Amino acid sequence: MAKLLSGIRVVELGTYVAVPKAARLMSEWGAEVIKVEPPKGEAYRKDIPAIWQLPHSEDNNPIFENENSSKQSLCLDLKDPAAKEIMYKLLETADVFLTNTRPKPLAKLGIDYESLKEKFPRLIYGHFSGFGDSGPDKDRPGFDVTSFWARGGMLTEWSLAESTPNKPTPGFGDGATSSMLVSGILAALYNREKTGKGEMIRVSLLGAALWYNSTGVVQGQPQYGKVYPAPRIPCRVFNPLFKTKDNDWLLLSVPDYAAKYQGILKLLGLEKYVEDPRFQSMGASQEHSPELMPILDEAFGKMATADLLKGLVALDVNHSKLANPADLYKDEQAWANGYLYEQTMGSGDKVVLSRPPVRFASMADEPGRRAPYLGEHSVEIMTRLGYTMEEINKNITGGAVVQHK
């Protein structure tokens, strides 16, 4: 059976994570994705994995694989008028164009929305930015660690008053925002089926952060009297992180306090507190949390992680051990659901990668297709666009096009 997006062509002029990840998601669902890159390749091919001290050779680049598997690569120098004409010819055949290039360079290259909407009235144009297309920060560069995590309030909201805020691993906010971009694209494709008209879609890291952190947007308003970063104590007594005898951290989330607190106390060997009025309601436990938290900290600290996990499962308490990145690639539950897969690089090295988590009953998982080498499909794509080999070679010789050797 054909995949759900079979027949859709996506042209991606994207760098780093968000736009490439959105295009990767569509490629997994059957779209043909053509990634357009400059002659030196985009920064995620070499610069970023080098900074992170990860492999970044042509045939072993696991970070680049994350966002770019299952694509084709067309390498164009868009500053060259001949390359721009190739880009226009490609866009004539495209359903979707995605980019995170900032507005001024797009306009200079003649591939901004205003320049394209009359030429390609059915084209769905998706633009990704750090801070949105209006306002005083519209021209600023933005990465997810700054525009999403820092500006979106989460790093303060999720920190404790007793600690220093921590910088998150890059790419997470990009991934969340890319999902919103794909949602908009799919809505636009549906609308085009009815109207025949293309669409302009704008998504930003800041906008996505405020959407995903909608609870924080509300709780930070002065009428609710909350202050951030908040201290660990006072707190709901079963909701903070607790450290075990094995130096693991456990996170509990117990909104059904009345139904669970007795069982948790017994699991911790604290039966003598079951009738303690300080524990007998959520309100009382919050009021007395400065007294109760040290008791719980000590009890958790005396128990082995395995015993606590087994007991919490038996009590049907919502919980999880804080996973270390060293645990993620071998997570049994993730493998059982197809969320992870093993990819073989061109070098023969193997790496475990994550797969888009949306599952369709009509689509079976397939072996991962590696990310393309820079310009690997330039000749092939231009041939499909109707160029002769003489024209292709002339463009390659002139520097407008790069073909992987």
Residues with catalytic annotation? 174
C-alpha 94: how far from chain center: 25
Residues 6+ apart with CB under 8 A from 9: 31, 32, 34, 93, 94, 95, 96
Q: What is the DSSP letter of 145?
A: I
Residues 375 and 71: their CA atoms lie apart, in Å, by: 11
Nearest one of 343, 335, 391 to 367, comparing CA atoms? 343
Q: Which residues pair with 243 in a beta bridge?
A: 249
Residues 205 and 171: their CA atoms lie apart, in Å, by: 11
Strand pairing class (249-252; 319-321)? antiparallel
Residues 104 and 89: their CA atoms lie apart, in Å, by: 22
C-alpha 90: how far from chain center: 28
Residues 261 and 306: their CA atoms lie apart, in Å, by: 20
Structural element, H or E, at residue 20: helix 18-28
3 state DSSP class of 166: coil
What angle, rounded to 10 degrees, do the helices at 18-28 and 172-195 form?
60
For residue 50, the one-letter residue type is A
Residues 123 and 188: their CA atoms lie apart, in Å, by: 10
Nearest one of 355, 385, 359, 381 to 368, comparing CA atoms? 355
CA distances from 335 to 25, 130, 212 (A): 19, 34, 27
Q: Is the peptide bond before 229 cis (omega within 30 degrees of 0)?
A: yes
Whether 74 contacts 374, CB under 8 Å: no
Nearest one of 36, 1, 4, 7 to 19, comparing CA atoms? 36
Most distant pair of Cα atoms in the chain: their distance: 88
402, two tokens: 């790069």
